[in-house]
Amino acid sequence: MIGRLNHVAIAVSDIDAATAVYRDTLGAEVSAKVAQTEHGVTTVFINLPNTKIELLEPLGAGSPIARFLEKNPTGGIHHVCYEVEDILAARDQLVARGARVLGDGEPKIGAHGKPVLFLHPKDFLGTLTELEQA
Q: Is 65 in the site for Co ion (CB under 5 A)?
A: no
Q: In the annotation, is 132 catalytic?
A: no
Q: CB nearer to Co ion: give 3 or 24.
A: 3
Binding residues for Co ion, how many (CB under 5 A)? 3
Q: Return the range that interacts with Co ion (CB under 5 A); candidates 9-17, 20-28, 42-50, 120-128.
A: 9-17
**Of 91, 104, 117, nearest in space to 6 by CA:** 117
Least separation in angstroms between residue 25's CB and Co ion is 23
CA torsion 90-94-96-100 (nearest 10°) is -130
DSSP state string for 70-95:
HHSTT-EEEEEEEEES-HHHHHHHHH
How far is Cα 56 from Cα 47, in angstroms, rounded to an integer? 15
> Rule CB under 5 A: which of 102-131 touch Co ion?
130
- Are 53 and 115 in contact by the 8 Å Cβ rule? The answer is no
Q: CB nearer to Co ion: give 37 or 98.
A: 37
Q: Return the DSSP state at 70.
A: H
Give percent helix, percent strand, percent coil of the chain, each to the nearest 5: 25, 35, 40
Q: Is 9 in the site for Co ion (CB under 5 A)?
A: yes
Least separation in angstroms between residue 77's CB and Co ion is 11
Least separation in angstroms between residue 110's CB and Co ion is 6
Q: Which of 30, 55, 69, 81 binds Co ion (CB under 5 A)?
A: 81
Amino acid at site 100: R
What positions carry a catalytic annotation? 130
List contacts with Co ion (CB under 5 A). 9, 81, 130
